[in-house]
Amino acid sequence: MQWMSNNKKIIVIAGPTAVGKTVVAIEVARYFKTEIISADSRQCFKELNIGVARPSVEELKEIKHHFIATHSIKEEVNAAGFEQYALAKTNELFHKYDVVVMVGGTGLYIKAFCEGLDNIPAIDPQIRQQIISEYEKKGLNWLQKEVKENDHRFFEEGEIQNPQRMMRALEVKLSTGISIREFQQGKKATRNFNIITIDLELPKELLYEQINQRVDDMMKQGLLDEVITLYTKRSLNALQTVGYSELFRFLDKEISLIEAVELIKRNTRHYAKRQITWFKKFGNSFVFDPRESTMLFSAVEQKLQDDL
């Protein structure tokens, strides 16, 4: 692949769920008259809408987005695939724009794009199959317990509502004796373009308030109806995620609807906390309050000038 010259820029807008990334990304893309690549591991699925806070029809019409509703929940989508997709799309967009915006809260996807993926040793297939078999029989609580006991570092820093990533962490630790997080500290890939990373942050109390309000809004918009249409596909990995798994439990009559909604709020807050930890360790980021977009534009403009 022939890359453009390194005066091209990617502005990465990251941060926890419900912090306001979509609004800021659209403001930035509008300001630079460019397009957006989504770095969200769930918004890429066509069948998921309300529960993944996909940008509205109006927002998608105003600014062209990529990696939104591009895949089926039946397809396997991972960080390696996203890295290939995003690099190819970036190269394509650089023929039209000097600046491209990337936005999302999936830290591993952003890391894959910015730095490349780590070289993790081959895993014993018997260990992998045993973990999958046990998870299918015993469920998410069992998997979380095993990860906590075997790879406490991943349990503290990783996505413990995501069974695929937890099973990956567990198989790596059981096969190598080393935390997957150790392998995720490898050599960074070199990109032939400049990257400006913006980490959006809000005071914890305000962020949690916005998370709770967002969940209430999702329920009013019809999240339960969306989950009902997906019930027969509930075993797919794409649906093992906050906002869907809790409502599946309600449909299975394990918990009440009120309990399910409260669990969504709690699990989303926990997920946001892990996202904040991840992005703080990512490094080289501008940290901004999303309510201060004017200051953000000034800082980005200055950084663009500095890189010339």
Which of 155, 183, 211 is at the close of a domain? 183
Which pLDDT does position 212 carry in this prediction?
98
**Residues 100 and 203 grouped into a single domain:** yes
- Cα separation, 234 vs 44, whole angstroms: 17
Low-confidence ranges of the chain (pLDDT < 50): 1-5
Spatial CA neighbour of 122 closest among 163, 77, 176, 80: 176
**Residues 85 and 203 grouped into a single domain:** yes
Which pLDDT does position 3 carry in this prediction?
41
**Residues 201 and 302 grouped into a single domain:** yes
Which pLDDT does position 264 carry in this prediction?
98
Q: Are 143 and 167 in contact (CB under 8 A)?
A: yes
* CATH code: domain of residue 39: 3.40.50.300
Output the DSSP codes for 15-34: --TTSSHHHHHHHHHHHHT-
Which pLDDT does position 36 carry in this prediction?
98
**Residues 174 and 204 grouped into a single domain:** no
- Cα separation, 115 vs 55, whole angstroms: 27
Which of 183, 198, 214 is at the close of a domain? 183
Q: Provide the mean pLDDT of the chain.
A: 90
**Residues 209 and 285 grouped into a single domain:** yes
Parent domain of 234? 9-117+186-307
**Residues 165 and 94 grouped into a single domain:** no
Asked whether residue 3 is assigned to any structural domain, the reply reads no
The Cα-based distances of 151 to 159, 173, 297 in angstroms read: 13, 7, 41
Which pLDDT does position 2 carry in this prediction?
40
Which pLDDT does position 294 carry in this prediction?
74
Asked whether residue 1 is assigned to any structural domain, the reply reads no
- Cα separation, 73 vs 45, whole angstroms: 6
Number of structural domains in the chain: 2
**Residues 219 and 289 grouped into a single domain:** yes
Which pLDDT does position 273 carry in this prediction?
92
Asked whether residue 213 is assigned to any structural domain, the reply reads yes
Asked whether residue 31 is assigned to any structural domain, the reply reads yes
**Residues 211 and 287 grouped into a single domain:** yes
- The separation between CA 42 and the C-alpha centre of its own chain, rounded to angstroms, equals 7
**Residues 199 and 86 grouped into a single domain:** yes
* CATH code: domain of residue 172: 1.10.20.140
Which pLDDT does position 5 carry in this prediction?
47
Give pLDDT tens digits for 122-149. Answer: 787 888 888 988 888 888 899 999 999 9
Percent of the chain with pLDDT over 90: 66
**Residues 43 and 153 grouped into a single domain:** no
Asked whether residue 231 is assigned to any structural domain, the reply reads yes
Burial tier of 59 (Cβ tally within 10 Å: 0-12, 13-18, 19+): middle
**Residues 244 and 299 grouped into a single domain:** yes
**Residues 33 and 59 grouped into a single domain:** yes
Which pLDDT does position 235 carry in this prediction?
87
Asked whether residue 2 is assigned to any structural domain, the reply reads no
